[in-house]
Structures are given as C-alpha cells and as structure tokens.
Structure 1
Amino acid sequence: MLDICLLGTGGMMPLPTRYLTAMVARYKGRKLLIDCGEGTQVAMKELGWGYKTIDTICFTHYHGDHVTGLPGLLLTIGNSGREEPITIIGPQGLEEIIKGLLVIAPELPFELNLIELSNEESSTIQCGEIELHTLPVEHNVPCLAYNMEIKRNPKFNVKKAKKYQVPKKFWTELQMGNTVKENGKLYEPYMVQGKRRKGLKVSYCTDCRPNIKIPKFVQNSDLLICEGMYGEDEYFEQANKYKHMIYKEAAEIAKKGKVTELWLTHFSPAMSEPEKHIEYANRIFLNSIVGEDLMVKELRFN
C-alpha cells in the first residue's frame, strides 16, 4: 500500500495552525517528499513516520515557501543516523539553490545526488519502486508538476505457464518481469503473466495556471493534490495575475482528468477558513476535499 500525508497546506507564509507546503509518500517503508516549506520537519515529527528513510526530495519550484525547510530537515535526517545518499530533484537552478541553502548545513553524513530537470520537457525518473513523472507548468518562475506511479505486475496465469511448459522454479522470476534462459531455451514473462492490473497513481500540482496538458498528466490518478490558492470565483483576477489557481480551476482539472479524489492545498494566508468555500469546487467535482495539515490517506491496489 501507498501512504500519502499532506504535511503542510499553507502558501506564502506559515500560520499558527498551518504549516507551509509539503507532501510525503511512503511505500514499503521508504519515503519520497515533495516540497519542503518552513515547518516540514515539525510536521514530520508530529506525523511520526521518521526521517531516516527519506530517499528522495522533489521541488516544484524555488520560492521560499517551498524550500526553506530543507536545511533543517537535512540536519535532522543526519542526526537520525542516515549515511546513504539522498536524491534531490527540481527544475533548472537546483544546484545553485542547494548550494545556498547548505551554507547553514555544510557537513552532512550523506551525499546529495542532484537531478536538475528541463523547464521545457517532461521527464521520467525511477525512484526505487516509484516511477516519477514531471510536467513543466506555468508560474512566474520555472515550476514542475509531479505524478508518481507504482506499477503492478500482471496477474500470474498458471494455465499459460503450463501451456508453455515453464519449469516451476522460474515462475516467480518470470512473474516479476525477468527473462530466464536454460539449456539454450528462453523463458519470457508473457509465458506466465495474465491480464494487466491497475497500479497506483498520485499527482501533485501547485503554484501554476491551468493548461490543456495538466488534465492528461493527472489522468486517472487515485489522488490529485492541487493548489487552491483562493476559494471564491471573485479572486480569479488575483490568481491569474500571480500565476495561481482558484478552487473552481482545480476542480475542472480533476473532472477532466477523471481522478478519483481531489485534495485542495496551498491556501492564501488571507483565507483563514478554506473549508467554507468548498462549494466552489464541489459544484464541478463532487469528490473535492479541503486539505488539512497532517491529512493522511492509505491507497491500496484494487
């Protein structure tokens, strides 16, 4: 199963009841973090999932409310006893940003592997068993949307295995997608695999304007986490000016993308009660939920 936690839901500045933007995914004990705003390590402490197994940290962009929590978090991970490298992913400018942030965390007990991605083209990166995809989106600085997919092997088909006379000792290896050769004979995965099975998909899109590519990018997500900087339609001009979204626009993406569930996040500090405006999203996409700090969802394979 895949566990998702929305660590912080605030945009621009933290509030006493709202940490800044961050999300963590946990799969088979390993963790991937997207964005790391101020207060992220405090939220993770409250969550109780631990720090040591964070293998990957992704940034959508480099505004302060998305990155300033990184030095403290890395120091805390170091104090947890981690020595394995950590991968940090982000749009162009990553190396310069990390260099600046690490001025106050110069000595870490692990290496940082930096992956700087194109601001013009989509990318795919394998992070353990999570396949990570990016999409450049429109903000006033280079910005990426992310989705993560955990693919599932097709169901094992014993009839096919017997039909192709596959020795039982190779069944597991072939079911995992590997090819086996013995005595000059090649055994391939299709000889034991049946129908494909749906995996899990979570998409994360914040600090941007909608475009025609985003619904396709988030298509059929089990969960879409999308910004709703402002709730009411009356704030459209404000959102458009600063390259953000209102609830209605996030809901339209969810509907067009045929996602299962939408979590709204990245709220303006001026919006003290974001839940009061949920009708603006629900009238378009019924399964819209106003995100809260430390909201958790457990996703399981069907």
Structure 2
Amino acid sequence: MANFEIKIIGCGSALPTTRHLPTSQIIDLREKIYMIDCGEGTQLQMRRMHIKFSKISHIFISHIHGDHCYGLPGLISTLGMLGRTGELMIHGPKEVEDYLRPVLQTTCNRLPYQVCFNWVDTTKHQLVMEDRSVSVYSIPLKHRIATSGYLFVEKPSEPHLISEMIDFYKIPIKELQYIKQGADYVTPEGEVIPNERLTRPADPPKRYAYCSDTAYQPEIVPIIKEVDLLYHEATFVEADLPRANQTYHSTARQAAKIAQKAGAKQLVIGHYSARYEDTALLQQEADSVFPGTILAEEGMMISLR
C-alpha cells in the first residue's frame, strides 16, 4: 500500500456531462483519509473505488461554487446513518459554513456527531491544519469568489532500520524505538554502535499542491516550489483564452507554465470544460510545455511513493 496516494473522484467542471463528475479528490496518507472538495456524485464514486466513508477525518473545500460543494450535505447525512460519532472538521472559506449551516439544520438536525468549521483566509498562505501525518497550508488563488488551494506537506518519517545490523548486534526489541529516534546502541560489553550504522535515512517528505479553481497566477509559484505533484485546473485550451480570462480559469498551457516555473516533479490537470469531448487536446497542449503531464480521470490513483 502506498504511503501517500491521490485518488481522483471527479475532475469535471460546473456543467454536468456523462464523461466526468464534478470536482473531488481523496488524499490517502498513511491510511488516513482527507477529502478535497465534494461535488455531486462523490459518494457514488467513492463506493465504486471502495473508499471507506468512516475514515474521512477532514474535508477541505476550495470555494463555494456548487461543483465543489454540492455533494457535502448528502455525504454528511450518510456519515450520520453509518453511525459516525467523532467530529468532522470542514475547512474552507467562511461562505462554506454560511451555506451548510441552514441546510444541516433543515435536513440533518439530529446527527450523532458534530460538524465543525475552520475558516480559511483565502488571501493568505498559512497553516490550516496539522496532525501527526501532515501539515496543510492554504494557497491563495485568483477566482471570481474567495478561493483557496491546499498544500499537503507530509511529516518526516522515522529512519529505516537495517535488519541485518539489528540481527548482527542482537539488539532487543525494546531498544528499536530509541534507535529510530536517533539514539546509538550500547552493547552489553559497553561498545557504542553509531546510529548511522544501524539505520538508513528516511524517505524525504512528499508534498502535494491542489490548485483549482484559478486564473493564471504566477504568484503561487514560490509556495508550490518543487512539489512532488501539482494538480492544476486546466478548464480551457489556449484558443479559448478570452473565455478563461473572463471566468477566472486557466488554460492547459497556463497550468503547464505554472508547473514548469515551480519545478514540479509531476503535473496532473483537470476541471475540464464540458465543451471538450476530447480532453486529449488539453493534455497535448500542456505536454508541449511540461512533458509527461497526466490527464486526470475518475478512478485514477496517483502514488507519491
């Protein structure tokens, strides 16, 4: 099982089609589940992908446009029917709570768990949430309404024990946790075994940036510098740049330019306009600037390990 995996639930835009679902993603990090956005159809796609609803610990909403949040009331209701008791934390612009509170009071007023809200300042890059596995930061985006992207930064893991050396020195199990934390080992005879002889360095922490919806905004480049994976909206092709500018969205070429400027290791594009029956056109355009661009599809799983 991958330690850090992105699961694409939906990668379409506002107008419904039979080709793509509205936006939603799942971050599976060390078997903890985090959701980004929750468009209509999210629950059904999660069932198809065998994702356990009960494992969702936090939901991050980028903005209040319907294709990013209309699936929330249904999901919240389902979690109640499944017997959830632990609180659910929803992060996003203040408008998310303004929208959800009346809906929940009308349709889900007897939930067996508490829904909590953490307001995200969409004008600042700052820490939004932190637990033992990840730190999540806001990314100020440029859209028609208050919108935030999210940067997931994995917490450093412990170094790897070298099993052959552990066996050679017959190190007791109770000592292993201290060695993982950097301690040397002292044998019964008093010999000091340096930690670097017993361990290999931990894997470098991985970083994932989610940027949807947004106009072309090079100002975010320093925030997402050298991320392992960048998801960037690519609603339009370059021929429709005037429409992209009008709606504060990006073209595939602009998404690729952001990835190129940031030195991202991988780029995945999504949030396709319904006008394009062949999304390969978007991939080709991005690929000409950032070779190896990934075209998001429902059900896709991308491992950062």
Q: TM-score, normalised by structure 2?
A: 0.84
Size of the aligned set, in residue pairs, is 280
- In the alignment, which of 131, 142, 148 is matched to residue 146 of structure 2? 142
1:130 alignment counterpart: 134
Letter in 2 for 1:131: S
1:115 alignment counterpart: 118
1:267 alignment counterpart: 272
Contact 2:140 2:220 in 1 (8 A): no
- In the alignment, which of 264, 285, 294 is matched to residue 299 of structure 2? 294
3-state SS of paired residue (1:259): coil
Contact 1:61 1:142 in 2 (8 A): yes
1:65 alignment counterpart: 67
1:183 alignment counterpart: none
Alignment identity in percent?
A: 25
Structure 1 unaligned blocks of 5 or more: 159-167, 179-189
2:167 alignment counterpart: none
Q: TM-score, normalised by structure 1?
A: 0.85
User: Pairwise mapping of residues 70-109 of structure 1 onto structure 2 (< 5 A)?
Assistant: 70-102=72-104, 103-109=106-112
3-state SS of paired residue (2:155): strand
More displaced stretch, 207-216 vs 244-253: 207-216
1:221 alignment counterpart: 227
User: Pairwise mapping of residues 31-50 of structure 1 onto structure 2 (< 5 A)?
Assistant: 31-50=33-52
Could you tell me how far 1:128 is from its partner in structure 2? 4.3
- In the alignment, which of 243, 252, 255 is matched to residue 247 of structure 1? 252
Deviation per CA, 1:40-76, whole angstroms, max 9, x where unpaired? 1111011101101100000000011111000111112
Contact 2:234 2:282 in 1 (8 A): no
Alpha-carbon separation, structure 1, partners of 2:160 and 2:14: 49
1:205 alignment counterpart: 211
Going from structure 1 to structure 2, the CA distance change for 1:76 and 1:173 (only over 3 Å counts) comes to: farther
Could you tell me how far 1:177 is from its partner in structure 2? 8.5
Alpha-carbon separation, structure 2, partners of 1:258 and 1:206: 19
Contact 1:229 1:246 in 2 (8 A): yes
Alpha-carbon separation, structure 2, partners of 1:263 and 1:249: 13
2:262 alignment counterpart: 257
Contact 1:154 1:193 in 2 (8 A): no
- In the alignment, which of 272, 286, 289 is matched to residue 284 of structure 1? 289
Letter in 2 for 1:211: Q
Alpha-carbon separation, structure 1, partners of 2:230 and 2:131: 20
3-state SS of paired residue (1:234): helix
3-state SS of paired residue (2:222): helix
Deviation per CA, 1:225-279, whole angstroms, max 9, x where unpaired? 110001x211111101110000000001111111121111111111122123322
Letter in 2 for 1:13: L
Letter in 1 for 2:283: I
Alpha-carbon separation, structure 1, partners of 2:303 and 2:145: 33
Alpha-carbon separation, structure 1, partners of 2:145 and 2:102: 18
RMSD: 2.5
